Amino acid sequence: MNSQLNNLKFCDEATALIDIWRAMPRESHAVCPAKSDFMPMKMRRHLRSTILYERRAKDEIIIRVVGTTLDQFIGQHLTGKNILSIIPPEHGRSFNRYYENLHKYQCGGIMERQIRSAGGSINMVKTMQLPLLNPQGEATFFVGIAIPGTLPKHFTDYRSASVHASRNIDITYVDIGAGIPEDLETTLARGL
């Protein structure tokens, strides 16, 4: 399978998910496995960091499963919510474009952005998503992991600022066999 996936192995949770995703069966020449073949329990000790989204339409990205790590970090139950209703409004266009690209190109992706914890501190969250196919063979599901962390030193100006003050989202697309958006291996979106 595509060696580009090795570029997504930034933590133990990502490595476990990539190994599980690679081992899943595929129909004939499909690049991605079917959502029906993904068994969350295979993530075992990393299940707390696992996320599963469904892109129903351009403005509707539903959180199907979210591990307790992110729920507890944010301080609210996220399963069943439209991700666009819980992110800062200025990030909506970038999120829509990101999931549209994952859907259209059946590629993997990493997103890093600032997030406010339940305690009020500003932190970084790094997520990775891999596509899964619906029964019609479209990449409408995305399984991934979310890892909250501290802000790097060069982001110290955000520590006392509102998350809404920052429009930066670092997005990296990874070709897993079907291509990536035109020359967009890495982009920095500012509320696009």
- pLDDT of 116 reads 81
Confidence class for position 163, pLDDT limits 50, 70, 90: very low
What CATH number is associated with residue 123?
3.30.450.20
- Is 129 a member of any domain? yes
Structural domain of residue 117, as residue ranges? 3-23+45-190
- Element of type H or E holding 54: strand 50-57
- Is 29 a member of any domain? no
Confidence class for position 49, pLDDT limits 50, 70, 90: very high
Q: Examine the pLDDT at 156 and tell me if it is beyond 70.
A: no
**Distance linking the first and last C-alpha atoms of the chain:** 32
- pLDDT of 191 reads 37
- Is 142 a member of any domain? yes
Q: Examine the pLDDT at 7 and tell me if it is beyond 80.
A: no
- pLDDT of 167 reads 52
Q: Examine the pLDDT at 139 and tell me if it is beyond 50.
A: yes
Q: What is the pTM assigned to this prediction?
A: 0.85
* Cβ proximity of 143 and 52 under 8 Å: yes
Span 79-94, pLDDT tens digits: 999 999 988 888 888 8
- Is 82 a member of any domain? yes
The whole-number average pLDDT for the span 26-39 is: 92
Q: Kindly write down the DSSP assignment for every residue of 78-100, as one continuous string.
A: -TTSBGGGTS-GGGHHHHHHHHH
Q: Residue 23: is it exposed, middle or buried by C-beta count within 10 angstroms (0-12/13-18/19+)?
A: exposed
Count of structural domains within the chain: 1
- Is 34 a member of any domain? no
- Is 162 a member of any domain? yes
- pLDDT of 155 reads 54
The share of the chain scoring above pLDDT 90, in percent, equals: 42
- pLDDT of 135 reads 95
* Cβ proximity of 178 and 107 under 8 Å: yes
- Is 75 a member of any domain? yes
- Is 40 a member of any domain? no
